[in-house]
Structures are given as structure tokens and as C-alpha cells.
Amino acid sequence: MGKLSANVMADFTNRFPPRTEQEQKAIEASKKEERDQARLRAIQDLIKAAEFPLRHLSCTPCMDGPWGAKFKELQMKLGTGRLLALIGTRGNGKTQLAVALGMDQIRTHLKAARFTTATAFFMAIKSTYKPTATDDEAEIIREFAKPPLLLIDEIGKRGGSEWENNLLFELLNRRYNDVKDTILIDNRTVQEFTETIGPSLASRMNEGGGVVHCDWETFRK
């Protein structure tokens, strides 16, 4: 039996000799290329699903100065369930900052992100009231609560009705409880913003991120 096994092993070795070092390196390089390609496809799919504005995707801002410093600061904070707001005048790169942070989460950590405006969120909710709708309010809330990072632009462009306030609170509170990062973007003053979101969300924001004053020079020349 032992002799038979030895013969079988010898025959196997003759037909399938051990790989040379060069062959092994070539195989490892091929596998690495496959992994890299798979990662690239995953990144491309996540970027597409995030629905970032094309204008901001095509912009490559300079990392020098206060904008870049704030990006690096917030980059280190994300991933821990932050609820924060980028507040400042129009044109100084708040939306660009949020998109850059979203792109970094995708490229570095392969974490899903989603960009929306407050108006688009409420329009998605209202679409469920149509007789032909297949989703309900709860499903839309779950959809926006799902990604690890949610960016909501133009948070001030809404009616401020009790209906809107309740839905916004439900979404942000759910993300807060699920320890997911949320970034709100607003052109109004800090006082106006705080009054709009209400004391409960303001308290959660102070605990999990706070208000970021974007008071540097405008991006729009």
C-alpha cells in the first residue's frame, strides 16, 4: 500500500511539478490585480449610488488653507456616528466639503454614502401618497437611514411645518441611534439653523459633532 502511494505521488509530481518562484509571483500578481479591479468596481458602484452632484465630483479643491484643514479634521471624526452641520454663507465650499468627505469614505473605507437635499427627501416622502405608490413613509425613512454616511444639503430650504419637522427628526434620530454619520448643510446663521431643527436635535448634535463654522473665503470667484 505504501509502495502504491509512493508511485501515485511520484506520478502526480511528474504531471504537476511544483511552481517555480517566478510562476508563483505571477499568480500572486494576477490575484492582486483581480482584487484591485474588484475594489475599483465596488468604488465606482458606490459613487454612482451616492448621487453626488456632478459639478462637485469634477472639482479638485486645494487642500491648503482652512478648507483643507477642516476636511482633515472631519475626516478623522467620521465613522463614529457624528451628527454635525456645516454652516456658513453661500459659495465657500460647504457642499464641496461634504462631497469630498463622502468620496473619502467610499474610496478609503468602501462605506456607502448618499447625497440629497432636504427638498428631495420630502419629495420622496410625498411621492408615497400617490394612489399608485408602492412604498410608504416608513420605507423612505429606512432608505435614507441605511447608508453609513448621509449628506443633506439646503436644509434651510423647507417649509418648516410640523409634518416636515417630525419626519426630519425621525430620520436624524434613527441615524443617531444607529451610530451613523450625518452631515447637514445650511446657508443660514447658527441661531436660525438651531431654531429650525429644534432643541432635541440640537442637543444630539452638540453631543455627536456640533456646528462647523465655514467662514473661510468663497470658492466661487
What is the full per-residue pLDDT of the chain (221 aa) written as tens digits?
A: 445 566 655 565 666 667 788 878 888 888 888 898 999 999 999 999 999 999 888 887 777 788 899 999 999 989 989 999 999 888 788 999 999 999 999 999 999 999 999 999 999 999 999 999 998 999 999 999 999 999 999 998 877 788 888 999 999 999 999 999 999 999 988 888 888 888 888 888 887 678 888 887 765 55
**Concatenated DSSP letters of 51-91:** T--HHHHT-----SHHHHHHHHHHHHHTTS--EEEEE--TT
- 15 with 42, same domain: the answer is yes
The rounded distance, in Å, linking the Cα atoms of 183 and 170 is: 15
- 94 with 175, same domain: the answer is yes
- 75 with 179, same domain: the answer is yes
Structural domain includes residue 122: yes
Determine the pLDDT at residue 11. Answer: 63
Determine the pLDDT at residue 2. Answer: 47
Determine the pLDDT at residue 95. Answer: 94
Which of 13, 30, 47 terminates a domain? The answer is 47
- 97 with 200, same domain: the answer is yes
Structural domain includes residue 168: yes
- 82 with 160, same domain: the answer is yes
Determine the pLDDT at residue 182. Answer: 96
- 145 with 202, same domain: the answer is yes
- 79 with 6, same domain: the answer is no
Determine the pLDDT at residue 137. Answer: 93
CATH of the domain at 183: 3.40.50.300
Task: Judge whether 112 and 46 are in contact, CB under 8 Å.
Answer: yes
What is the count of structural domains for the chain? 2
The rounded distance, in Å, linking the Cα atoms of 23 and 91 is: 56
The rounded distance, in Å, linking the Cα atoms of 196 and 139 is: 25
The reported pTM is 0.85
Determine the pLDDT at residue 1. Answer: 46
Beta bridge partners of 150: 114, 182
Task: Judge whether 96 and 68 are in contact, CB under 8 Å.
Answer: no
Beta strand spans in 99-166 (E): 113-117, 149-153
Task: For residue 103, give the amino acid letter.
Answer: M
Structural domain includes residue 123: yes
* Burial status of residue 53 (CB atoms within 10 A of its CB: 0-12, 13-18, 19 or more): middle
- 33 with 63, same domain: the answer is no
The rounded distance, in Å, linking the Cα atoms of 11 and 178 is: 59
Determine the pLDDT at residue 179. Answer: 94
Structural domain includes residue 149: yes
- 82 with 28, same domain: the answer is no
Structural domain including 13 reads 2-47
- 60 with 38, same domain: the answer is no
- 134 with 43, same domain: the answer is no
Determine the pLDDT at residue 9. Answer: 56
Structural domain includes residue 188: yes
| Number of Cβ atoms within 10 Å of the Cβ of 206 | 13
Closest CA to 49 of 122, 110, 123: 110
- 77 with 18, same domain: the answer is no
Structural domain includes residue 218: no
| Number of Cβ atoms within 10 Å of the Cβ of 93 | 24
Structural domain includes residue 26: yes
Task: Judge whether 105 and 78 are in contact, CB under 8 Å.
Answer: yes
The rounded distance, in Å, linking the Cα atoms of 174 and 83 is: 11
